Chain A
């Protein structure tokens, strides 16, 4: 096996040092009844060359048709990932490190996380950020757990216009947390602040998405105020790439800001790995889940970084910890940091404006009836295609275009609705092609 280094002579000498006659003797503690007495039924070992051939086959089976243009989003988006991101992520010292338990050997990762926390705070207008969570769904469950402990209440509210997968994950976690989940319906694609206020009356938190799953801009400041009126924590689930043009949750009174980091610096990669971000007002710092990096000094006064506030965490507090999280998504969060540094504030604004402008162009060019015609949208919008949207997708695929996500699976009564995502990677020519394929 090419990943093993011991020669036969090594093995013999080592067994002798240990004082056993054979490898088998090392397993003397295993009761006979639990020993595995046959070979694992796995395909035979492959060399690197063979591995490459097989995986290339699998990968190309995903592209059986000619290369196509995609307007598919619905939570993960085809934004450009610059080469510098991949270059940094392949630095072996960062790629192959474990969690930075020993800070003197981990300043690279620790400082990167500190910078990431800063970037997330700047994006969201919050005071503190953790080192990242698993993805944009699980950070919503994390937010609920924080809110439960902060408020002592046993219900959470989430808007129906929030990403269905986020809602599903919250519902999966809720029983273990001792929480009930209530949903607030959308009215013509957006949430009514009065309805949210009423629903949040006895709730620990109210989660809404901005822009929401339909791409619609929610009256976010009013929703945050409505939650605050009900003494529930306002939690905004935001698209990081919208925050160059859209107001930051921390600036309109949210207690927590969460989101899916993929649009900022991660390849789509069939759904992961990505990072979720979770930022909060400073008063909640000791309830935050996961790792947090803090600044300090060594004895000589040199600045350095360490994992901090560890008394929140499972390896110290065990059953009283704020979360069971140990793995976060450091490498993917680092990708986000490098990406945001590559863009800078002006670049971030350019991306947001470009997506939005192209989406407006697409709306006009398609000329299909908008599901929510009175609403402002960001980079995604819902249109009625006049028949089953899944069929429309299938037909368009035959012409080399993926026209968007068929919403009927998540929202009853929307079988004829297509959710079209337009990123800065799409061109006017591609949008024209989409219009042609959809026959508009």
Chain B
């Protein structure tokens, strides 16, 4: 389909703004724009049709089942959209007088209290814009904490298991730390012997997702916690998989002192094709002084007290994002939390039930590298299909599209070859899981009988399998108007296909 720029015609326009009837402003010549930007010139009906057509070429949780492991693609309640769009929230300026922002501050404060309770910790900053920024903020907190104790110079190492999301090691580098990798044992837990050998007085902390990206709860979490606490190091909980344990087990009770929460996963902020997200962090009492400023505090107790922003935080690491964070995300996620209340436990229980049910349906058709009950997600391997039929996890994923499903996460975690990582979430009906399992089983049969059907998949999508190597090699990352190249005239690029991650 055409780009909006290719539909542009000189002189067309959609929007007009009122003219104030004032003289044109005087701009010094060297600062004045010489050539106007070539923005699209379109009428409003065509503008709307263009983006409506684009939407029909996209798959969301509204479209169908989306078991993208580690991404917690659950139903996005529409009431939350309506609430975030209330004029009292949508049009509110964060620098407004605090007297006029009491409702918004109360909402933030109550969300903080809920997140502290769910994670079992004491203090909260809502500021980080996403999980990865929450990670980086957590590492900054570690640094500030150890600097105050005079240990920052020697505590340079962060320990991460080999199953970790790529964001963890990337955050370690951005935070100015050094990475220590620790292995996974045959049951899918952290290898405690390997860990013990790697944690010492130079260790600042651990970053761990629990349950892990394998969907397995680490059975040795208490021992792991003991190792870090004995070494005087801190433990960071990557909340990507918090959907498994709400009301069932709390990171704070496991020994973690810093947690980030992905509001766009567990608490249902629609991810909008890649954002917005939200990555609040909760911490223990002793780390509270270092949290980003300002803090949202309540003066006095009970309903009589007012809310205000406290900028007087001398030990704070500073600001990590503008204002208080992505407030619209807070509205949606807090509404989601209030819709459940204490029954968030049931949410997590059903997420785990759905995952185990799907696992039970699929365990014979694919290989299960760690044969245990899973938590909210699980990892299968298509290794056997590859060995016997030359069909890869990527082929399986592409073929699933023809059955009307979004594929799972593939090639992650890295320790499982030909990995398929499935997270059904709590909001799916049993018959959806049945239909999906039937599709994956049918695909396993197709792999044996008609492997080319998989290798050429998908067949029913707006475009066929796309040449990612050509994309990377040519790096055409914007429309170039008259000089725009015709890539269809260029031969397919050779090379391996880029793996996908979560």
Contacts and interface: CB of A to CB of B under 8 A. Distances in A.
Contacts of B190: none
19 contacts: A3-B339, A4-B347, A18-B356, A40-B118, A94-B60, A96-B76, A104-B461, A172-B319, A270-B92, A272-B276, A273-B275, A294-B474, A294-B475, A300-B464, A326-B167, A328-B274, A350-B19, A357-B20, A357-B22
B276 A332 contact: yes
B73 A98 contact: yes
Contacts of B86: 55-56, 59
Interface string B17-36: 11110111111101111111
B33 A268 contact: no
B417 interface: no
B37 A45 contact: no
A151 interface: no
A213 interface: no
Contact of A341 (B1, B40, B498, B501): B40
A135 B129 contact: yes
B15 A82 contact: yes
A334 interface: yes
A238 to B, nearest CB: 12
A335 to B, nearest CB: 10
Contacts of A317: 166, 170
Q: Report which residue of A19, A43, A117, A244 has the largest number of chain B beta carbons within 10 angstroms of its beta carbon.
A: A43
A212 to B, nearest CB: 12
Interface in B322-338: 322-329, 331, 335, 337-338
Contacts of A29: 216-217, 219, 372-373, 375
Interface string B94-128: 11110111111011000000100110100000000
B191 interface: no
- Nearest first, the 6 closest Cβ-Cβ pairs linking A and B are A331-B272, A315-B501, A59-B88, A271-B323, A108-B58, A61-B103
Contacts of B41: 344-346
Contact of B429 (A5, A36, A344): A5
Interface string B111-152: 000100110100000000111110110011001000000000
Contacts of A2: 339
B55 A94 contact: yes
A318 interface: yes
A308 B471 contact: yes
A152 B37 CA distance: 33
B39 A122 contact: yes
Given A18-B357, A102-B500, A145-B174, A40 B344 contact: yes
A296 B474 contact: yes
Contacts of B317: 172
B325 to A, nearest CB: 6
Nearest to A104: B461
A407 B71 CA distance: 42
- Which interface class (under 10, 10 to 19, 20 to 34, 35 or more) fits B? 35 or more
Interface in A284-310: 285, 291-306, 308-310
A315 B166 contact: yes
Interface string A107-144: 11101111101110111010111011011111000000
Given A94-B60, A318-B166, A347-B16, A329 B327 contact: no
A191 interface: no
Nearest to B60: A96
A6 B59 contact: no
A353 interface: yes
Contact of B140 (A172, A325, A331): A172
Given A272-B322, A273-B326, A62 B430 contact: no
Contacts of A198: none
A320 interface: yes
Nearest to B175: A176
A31 B249 CA distance: 10
A114 B253 contact: no
A270 B129 contact: no
Interface residues of A, number: 209
A42 B250 CA distance: 14
B268 to A, nearest CB: 8
Interface in A342-373: 342-351, 353-354, 356-358, 360-361
A136 B129 CA distance: 12
Given A36-B249, A39-B342, A168-B318, A115 B55 contact: no
Given A23-B349, A246-B33, A347-B15, A176 B500 contact: no
Contact of B339 (A10, A51, A271): A51
Contact of B95 (A62, A100, A405): A405
A380 interface: no
Interface in A189-235: 217, 220-221
A6 B238 CA distance: 29
Given A26-B353, A138-B129, A246 B341 contact: no
B161 to A, nearest CB: 12
B164 to A, nearest CB: 8
A131 B274 contact: yes
A350 B326 CA distance: 30
B60 to A, nearest CB: 4
Interface in A226-273: 243-248, 251, 260, 267-273
B453 interface: no
B30 A165 contact: no
Interface string A71-113: 0101110101010101111111111111111111111110111
Nearest to A405: B95
Contacts of B87: 59, 63
A45 B338 CA distance: 6
B464 A76 contact: no
Contact of A42 (B13, B117, B331): B117
Nearest to B479: A118
Q: Report which residue of B4, B51, B94, B132 has the largest number of chain A beta carbons within 10 angstroms of its beta carbon.
A: B51
A118 B37 CA distance: 10
B299 interface: no
Interface string B220-249: 011000000000000000000000001111
Given A270-B93, A271-B322, A105 B59 contact: yes
Contact of A327 (B66, B88, B276, B341): B276
Contact of A35 (B25, B249, B339): B249
B320 to A, nearest CB: 6
